[in-house]
Structure 1
């Protein structure tokens, strides 16, 4: 493309319309160097050209025989509405000029005769105005296009987000189902392990779970966090798992730390710690299970730990399991009442037992706050309340069942139990929810 062609493409397209060729020629001489000019002597021909070619500026005479300027501009505005329209008129044409302004939307008008320099100056201002408006339209179009693309992008993004959210919800649902299944399986495994321990030791059904729930209740009472309470519960549930590695002769000597315990039995926590350590998920239970037979004064086993060096879970298990043996232990021929057992534990506080834990046990059993749906409380008649639910059969020393699990305690039952204790000079322990 030549320099002349480049300059020509940069110039605006100017359409001249006048039925007098002399006027056309005069305008061309003045403007031909600055504009790409096309000229016509009648309106229809000019309009036909405008339908096929772009026009930037239009200068049209007012008085023409076939179509006057006002009519021409009205049609031109419909064809190319952005073109700048300039009316060429005499002062005697003011009435039709006003019509052209109203109907044809002319930008300005040029009076006859004109001054060439003034005409060029006017056309320069018109050109600047046109180019500015054209640039504004282009920017608006670009902005509209950008907004449209942004809208489409947002719609696509929203759909992607919706699809991703749906996928995540589905994954979460599947994960939740899998987690519930795993938790159910874990509970089944724990129940099986607990049942195995009870079968091995000869304790009654639910013995380990009762100890585990009471351990968790004390942990909560002491303000331990949920994770630690959960860990202590599991330790309580599995605290005797080491008994599976003991001989039948040792198991037959199960008892409480009164000095009558078989020395080999006292070391079952070591076996238990070794067993749980082999299972990654249960590894955190090791220390509490291992040190459950330590004494506060350092005389316990296996490592002779003392005071706060003994893990809190181990201290809690020691108190709860010994308390349970005192009031309901298998082969314990001298079962104590709840009140006597509490006094016995307190008499050895800070020697064998953590005094804070012993006091917490008393408070939990007395206050019976909400420590979980499956919480089981060990109480004597003095701690029994109307409306309590019995969780285990009340079996008398002669083997007869006085009350069955699931019964709701009534005032009559409490009175009947009190009479029984007076007549047989004994104390009854009940396990209730």
Structure 2
């Protein structure tokens, strides 16, 4: 657990000292902060003094029963999870506690140590998921309200629409610090916001990200560089958020000098947006440089050859290849073979020859008929994953984010990480691996 994250606090309430001592010993060293109280009144006093995540109360206690105590906890601290500890089979009393205290689970005495530890862990995990759900619902509501305002602004004049988007651009700078703790969600929000602008960009970022990632893998980039290339590709157009709809709809070859000068500022704007987030600084450098040319005539810094980061050289080719096909660079849309020819024509001028060669090899490999039986694949649950297995497909989380890329060889450390990560999810993961 992160040193900055406070330990979950558990309060045990029981009028029997030996029971409290047993519970304290059982949960000592388990990563919790333990509090105890010998009566309901003492438990309530502790709750008034400090925050508690989970309360476990005995049913039979003098003066104030467990049901009465848990009812008071539910009333004053509804966010605190509640468990009932009962040593007798009085169904009506248990039902009373459930109805009045709205307990999550009840545990019978004598308890099984493994069972009670598992129940506590699951209870605290449920509380964490509830808090995360509330946070995401609030974030989604905020984003939906912003999108409603953006859609309404589309009916206004161009000047008003541009002004509204400029305000949204300024707002994104303010939100960067808050989005720092939610890296993947930040990427989705930014990328989707850009593609809502229209101009034929729908799906562009995802197609570019997929092609750029494959090129980075083919060029033997390390995992960190592959990740930066993928993220940069998803966000490479974020600097265009302040540009007008008319300008975005124009192919670059149809722009006037003034329009082209305004358009060419977007890599620098994008870098300014992404730099405040530590996790995005590598991608920000690639986004700034993705309009540089291998011959040194690009922008904004006129870098040439190997002075341009490799990730930016990859991103430049991947982005242009897709834009040529959707009509964002030339007045007409090119067929895939025409876009490929245009890329080859600019080898050594616009694009790095090594990147172009890898690109051509990748396209040619996709056209070669399979002469031998393809490697068989099998879908396995996380529990069946073994070191040495190779991913046949990207490992994608339920929210659509990439966890591991295809062709990744799993070692013992990665297997342990995947197992531990799955425990934080609501649904089990399944991996597609090659089968010998």
TM (normalized to structure 1)? 0.43
Q: TM-score, normalised by structure 2?
A: 0.42
